[in-house]
Amino acid sequence: MCGISAVFAYHPDAPPVDRDEVEAITQRMYPRGPDAGGTWFSDDGRVGLGSRRLAIIDLTPDGIQPMTDVSGQLVIVFNGEIYNHHDLRKRLERNGARFRSHSDTEVLLEMYKHDGPAMVDLLRGMYAFTILDKRDGRLFVARDPYGIKPLYIADDGRTVRIASQVKALLAGGRISRASDPAGVAGFFVTGSVPEPFTTFAAIRAVEAGSCFFVDASGPTAASCHYSIAEIYQRARSQEAVGTLVDPATLLGEFVHESLAYHLVSDVPVGAFLSAGIDSTTLVALIAEARREPPRTVTLSFEEFRGREQDEAPLAARFAAEIGAQHTTRIVTREEFLADMPRFFDQMDQPTIDGTNTWFVSKATAEQKLKVAISGLGGDELFGSYPSFRELPRIVRLARVPFATRLLRNPKAKSIARYGRSLAGAYLVKRGLFMPEELSLVLGDEAAREGLERLNIIERIRGVLDVDPGTDFGRIAALESTLYMRNQLLRDTDWASMAHSLEVRTPLVDAFLLRQLAPLLVVGGSKSKDHFAGSARPPLPDYLRNRRKTGFSVPLKEWLNLPPDGTTTRMRSWARHVFERVGS
């Protein structure tokens, strides 16, 4: 796990790469990789690469980056983990590859040499990397299918700059800080900045599941190597698989496999533990697979004591029953306020979330752990968000003349205006500010320009350019591609890496989705029950029958916000966050 940077002066008229710039970009990402750091520069001065390392696999100096292959023709910087690197190494060795290390980074170098860009179809993991091929003077750039690991790019027409963080690129001092109205509008509409936008006009996110080259003409058109919507569409022709085998057995087998890959590590692996189905089931499966439970961490808040949001007592009870070494970490308002300066400094783009991950990552790092398993992605995979039930209802309701006039819902007008399509219903469900409200926040001109470029309804609809074919598949694709990618995964990355902690998400796995999609389109939201029953022994009833509450923190109490509903609290938080981070 690392923070990476690359600067490529590709145009003949571009000035040589500034070594100080590469060093500054790389150093800004120090918390992502405190174990080692380095830079590499080409002899002709056209390319500079940088890396900060958090050593997880191959802890020896042989794993340090930037790394060159044995021939000296390829150089890589890589952020992430390739969980099937042992399998890929064996395949490469059978084809004559030679290795100097035991790292997954070197496997990527040999994969590129052997398979070229097609290598991405064989990688199981989370990744963002660039490979310089000296033979043809090109950079190859790739990002994982779900976008678990971030990657950003700035191209001024002569030089391309790439890094794991927006703020790292800005730290180099060569990129304009002019704001992007589309990114700003996107934040206030959704609570996070929707990719590929950032709040800076010069910087874009590399699309998840894409790869491309940078050559003497600049970045080439990106090719997409994974589509969540397409996986669900293909599953429609494989539905028989979901009916021929016991769902719990099939689901358990595939999740076990994903978890086994995600446990590959040369350092101890802990786990976030709440009282929810996803984290408790994963912890139970780890204990079953390794015959020893992982070390677990739960957050506790005095403000939640005695209320249903307090997950700490049940999490501690479950940990004790399976024999896990467990820590319940109490977080106070005083600690929250004391952490806020560093919290906002490390927040890479504005978001209304991330506080929970910040503190559970901090607590896990205090236990001297460098890797933690998270249940993130379970709600998207198993259809357990309210949106899976509510979005089809919103569409049906909005299509009935005058029906929305009878609603007491504060979003009734928005349902009438946008809810006739699934994309519009999704905006209503997940929206923070509705588009027509933005002028009150940004002013008329900025709101108009931002919304015009953002084109939010079409952006949501574009996720379903390939129709998954079922409401379950459509909503799963929307939640995974928009909310999970732009908010949950991004927040998990910056908030955990700020504490030099790697978070792994076995339920966010491209291989797993391919395997489970036929079962999911048949069983829909029942799959969560099958998942809860996949451990041996199954989860106890006090966990399986508990009402879902989510992984929340008492922001209302901490910020002294008015107690008039979640939307009002989050809007106040959004304004506060943007003032600190967004410009």
* Domain ranges across the chain: 2-226, 229-382+488-553, 387-474
Which among 51, 139, 148 has a CA at the least distance from the CA of 103? 51
User: Tokens in use for 533?
Assistant: 């029953």
Could you tell me which residues are beta bridge partners of residue 77? 130
Residue 351 contacts residue 487 (beta carbons within 8 Å): yes
* Mean pLDDT across 416-437: 94
Helix (H, G, I), strand (E, B) or coil at 227: coil
CA distance 114 to 256: 30
In sequence order, which residues have a C-beta less than 8 Å from that of residue 229 and are 6 or more positions away? 463, 464, 465, 466, 467, 468, 473, 474, 477, 481
Q: What's the 3-state SS for 416-436? A: HHHCCCHHHHHHHHHCCCCHH
In sequence order, which residues have a C-beta less than 8 Å from that of residue 423 and are 6 or more positions away? 457, 458, 460, 461, 464
Residue 374 contacts residue 505 (beta carbons within 8 Å): yes
Q: Which fold has domain 229-382+488-553?
A: Rossmann fold (3.40.50)
Q: What are phi and psi of 370, to 5 degrees?
A: -110, -10
Q: What is the pLDDT of residues 353-380, one digit of tens each?
A: 999 999 999 999 999 999 999 999 999 9
Radius of gyration in angstroms for the set of CA atoms belonging to the chain, rounded to a whole number: 23
The more confident residue out of 26 and 557 is 26
User: Is residue 571 predicted with pLDDT exceeding 80?
Assistant: no
Q: How confident is the model at residue 568 (pLDDT cuts 50, 70, 90)?
A: low
User: Is residue 108 predicted with pLDDT exceeding 60?
Assistant: yes
Helix (H, G, I), strand (E, B) or coil at 54: coil
The answer to whether domain 2-226 and domain 229-382+488-553 are alike in fold is: no
Q: Percentage of the chain surpassing pLDDT 90? A: 79
pLDDT of the residue at 465: 94
pTM over 0.85: yes
CA distance 372 to 490: 16
Q: How confident is the model at residue 405 (pLDDT cuts 50, 70, 90)?
A: low
Q: What is the pLDDT of residues 36-78, one digit of tens each?
A: 999 999 999 999 999 999 999 999 999 999 999 999 999 999 9
pLDDT of the residue at 565: 55
Q: Say if domain 2-226 classifies as CATH 3.40.50.970.
A: no
Could you tell me which residues are beta bridge partners of residue 68? 75
C-alpha dihedral (116, 504, 26, 354), degrees to nearest 10: 130
Helix (H, G, I), strand (E, B) or coil at 36: strand
Residue 570 contacts residue 436 (beta carbons within 8 Å): no
Q: What is the pLDDT of residues 254-296, one digit of tens each?
A: 999 999 999 999 999 999 999 999 999 999 999 998 888 999 9
Which among 198, 551, 560, 176 has a CA at the least distance from the CA of 350? 198
User: Tokens in use for 214?
Assistant: 């940078």
Residue 323 contacts residue 390 (beta carbons within 8 Å): no
* Mean pLDDT across 427-449: 94
pLDDT of the residue at 197: 98
List, as one string, the DSSP characters of 155-224: E-SSEEEEES-HHHHHHTS-S---B-HHHHHHHHHHSB--TT--SBTT-EEPPTTEEEEEETTEEPPPEE
Residue 41 contacts residue 15 (beta carbons within 8 Å): no
pLDDT of the residue at 569: 61
* Mean pLDDT across 398-405: 75
